[in-house]
């Protein structure tokens, strides 16, 4: 690990300190080789004063127990009908898993406790079908959770609930995680699964605004794998209930959890309730940010030096790429109306966010703007990133003759001898 990675992590600490994360772990992950690393990562989060609550599922274990005993489970994930045999399997599987999690946490010197906090009632009869021992979360005993957390104890919650008469019901672990996250006003709900994240029609969704995910589920739920649709639905519900960030990660990957939590672009899926990254027009207060952002590139002669006055004069041409309200990149589009050409300029991505597609997003953004304006051609001048514009932006090498006359004059005067790149927009 590099020291600069540590700096990257440190920027998140004030944001996360004393806040609550809910980790909803699929049963299959508990028996995975990476489980010990995952528990170590939980210990690391605790050491940073992040309160972590663990909720777990049990469907993989119910399935194998049913096979072992040669009985048929009426349902695996607590969403369908739970008959008496399946409840029995669920109790055995869940107790075993809770125990394994407690073991994993104590191996990392964490104090942990089985938290009996889910008050449930039977789902009852739906469309004429009695769901028997399948329960619905009625209430979460938040007081008990708060007192455990205050004493530095990690609560571990199985997918089981009790009613007032002490009867046990099998509840869906995604539903438990959502209810707990809502009650504790968690800032993150993280589904730890055996998949890379939410995959829609074969492609991983790296990040998505909740409204967009809601639309996808409504219009094409079949585009998600059946075992992931519940995660997608609960992610949507969680954001609607005020949880700002929901992650779906692969718990079998070494850096799955930390990579997702301590980076603006993790390996899994992030569903966010509000604008997380966006491109916006620069404001006067951004002039300094633009200068600070581009300072290094100016020194390395990658970008032309621009004074405060020069930026202010054409401030309307500049755009800022923000991640969680931090400016991490910038770009400008200068328009030459007479020649019907545009120049993409001052493209810079801060080194902490390089190689994550931000540059490409900004090129695409400027290109879209240029098309909206009906420009015929987009130009870019670059000394050290010309192959980038060619391979990632679809530009081709041009000559200074392609530049509009006023720009050509400045080009000759600067002596920078940048390469001229052109993209026809027709
Ligand atoms: C060039 C720059 C904008 C790329 O931004 P970015 O967000 O890191 O790039 P993306 O994530 O969109 O693309 C990354 C890809 O581009 C390649 N790339 C990055 N910089 C490159 C360069 N200078 N030349 C050629 N390829 C480059 C990476 O190797 C990576 O390739 P891969 O996807 O095949 O692995 C950024 O490195 C930068 O700000 N450079 C300094 C300023 C500059 O030169 N600006 C252009 C002049 S206007």
pLDDT score recorded for residue 3: 62
Ligand 1: centre distance to CA 180 (Å):
42
pLDDT score recorded for residue 128: 87
Closest residue by CA, ligand 1 atom 40: 348
Span 380-423, pLDDT tens digits: 999 999 999 999 999 999 999 999 999 999 999 999 999 999 99
User: Considering only 14-28, 61-75, 89-103, 160-174, which range has the smallest mean pLDDT?
Assistant: 61-75
Select from 296, 346, 355, 414 the residue to mutate for testing ligand 1; criterion: most ligand atoms less than 8 Å from CB. 355
pLDDT score recorded for residue 265: 65
Confirm if 182 and 241 have CB atoms less than 8 A apart: yes
Closest residue by CA, ligand 1 atom 39: 348
- Confidence at 1, pLDDT banded by 50, 70, 90: low
User: Considering only 46-50, 120-124, 261-265, 300-304, which range has the smallest mean pLDDT?
Assistant: 261-265
Span 114-166, pLDDT tens digits: 999 999 999 889 888 888 889 999 999 999 999 999 999 999 999 999 998 98
pLDDT score recorded for residue 176: 96
Confirm if 206 and 323 have CB atoms less than 8 A apart: no
Please give the C-alpha separations between residue 147 and each of 51, 113, 124, 138, in angstroms, as whole numbers: 12, 12, 32, 20
Mean pLDDT in the chain? 92
Q: What are phi and psi of 174, to 5 degrees?
A: -65, -40
Ligand 1: centre distance to CA 388 (Å):
6
Over the Cα atoms of the chain, what is R_g?
A: 27
- CA atoms of 117 and 1, how far apart (whole Å): 39
pTM (2 d.p.): 0.67
Confirm if 247 and 279 have CB atoms less than 8 A apart: no
Select from 305, 359, 364, 420 the residue to mutate for testing ligand 1; criterion: most ligand atoms less than 8 Å from CB. 359
Closest residue by CA, ligand 1 atom 42: 348
pLDDT score recorded for residue 8: 66
User: Considering only 297-301, 327-331, 349-353, which range has the smallest mean pLDDT?
Assistant: 349-353
What residues contact 120, with CB distance under 8 A and at least 6 apart?
Answer: 135, 136, 137, 138, 161, 162, 163, 169, 171
- CA atoms of 337 and 272, how far apart (whole Å): 39
pLDDT score recorded for residue 263: 74
Closest residue by CA, ligand 1 atom 31: 355
Confirm if 133 and 40 have CB atoms less than 8 A apart: no
């Amino acid at each position: 690990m590099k020291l600069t990675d540590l700096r990257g992590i440190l920027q998140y600490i004030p944001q996360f300190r004393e806040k609550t994360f809910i980790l909803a772990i699929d049963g299959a992950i508990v028996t995975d080789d990476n489980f010990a690393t995952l528990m170590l990562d939980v210990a690391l989060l605790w050491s940073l004063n992040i309160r972590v609550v663990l909720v777990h599922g049990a469907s993989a274990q119910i399935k194998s127990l049913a096979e072992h005993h040669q009985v048929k489970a009426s349902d695996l994930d607590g969403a369908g009908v739970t008959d008496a045999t399946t409840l029995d399997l669920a109790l055995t599987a869940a107790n075993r898993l809770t125990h394994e999690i407690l073991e994993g946490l104590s191996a990392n010197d964490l104090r942990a406790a089985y938290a009996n906090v889910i008050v449930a009632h039977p789902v009852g009869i739906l469309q004429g079908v009695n769901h028997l021992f399948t329960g619905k979360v009625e209430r979460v005993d938040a007081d008990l959770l708060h007192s455990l957390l205050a004493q530095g104890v990690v609560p571990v919650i199985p997918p089981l609930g009790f009613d007032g008469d002490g009867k046990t019901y099998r509840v869906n672990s995604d539903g438990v995680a959502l209810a707990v996250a809502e009650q504790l006003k968690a800032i993150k709900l993280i589904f730890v699964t055996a998949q890379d994240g939410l995959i829609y029609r074969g492609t991983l969704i790296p990040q998505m605004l909740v409204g967009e995910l809601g639309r996808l589920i409504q219009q094409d739920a079949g585009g998600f794998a059946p075992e992931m649709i519940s995660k997608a639905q609960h992610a949507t519900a969680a954001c609607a209930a005020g949880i700002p960030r929901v992650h779906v990660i692969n718990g079998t990957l070494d850096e799955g959890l930390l990579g997702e939590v301590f980076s603006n672009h993790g390996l899994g899926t992030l569903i966010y309730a509000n604008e997380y990254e966006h491109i916006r027009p620069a404001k006067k207060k951004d002039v300094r940010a633009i200068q600070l952002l581009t300072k290094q590139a100016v020194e390395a002669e990658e970008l032309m030096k621009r004074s405060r006055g020069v930026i202010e004069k054409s401030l309307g041409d500049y755009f800022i790429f923000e991640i969680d309200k931090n400016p991490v990149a910038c770009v400008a589009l200068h328009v030459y109306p007479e020649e019907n050409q545009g120049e993409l300029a001052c493209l810079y991505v801060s080194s902490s966010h390089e190689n994550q597609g931000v540059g490409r997003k900004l090129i695409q953004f400027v290109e879209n703007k240029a098309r909206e304006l009906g420009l015929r051609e987009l130009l870019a001048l670059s000394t050290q990133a010309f192959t980038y514009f060619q391979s990632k932006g679809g530009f081709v090498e041009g000559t200074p003759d392609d530049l509009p006359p006023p720009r050509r004059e400045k080009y000759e005067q600067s002596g920078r001898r940048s390469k001229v790149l052109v993209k026809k927009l027709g």
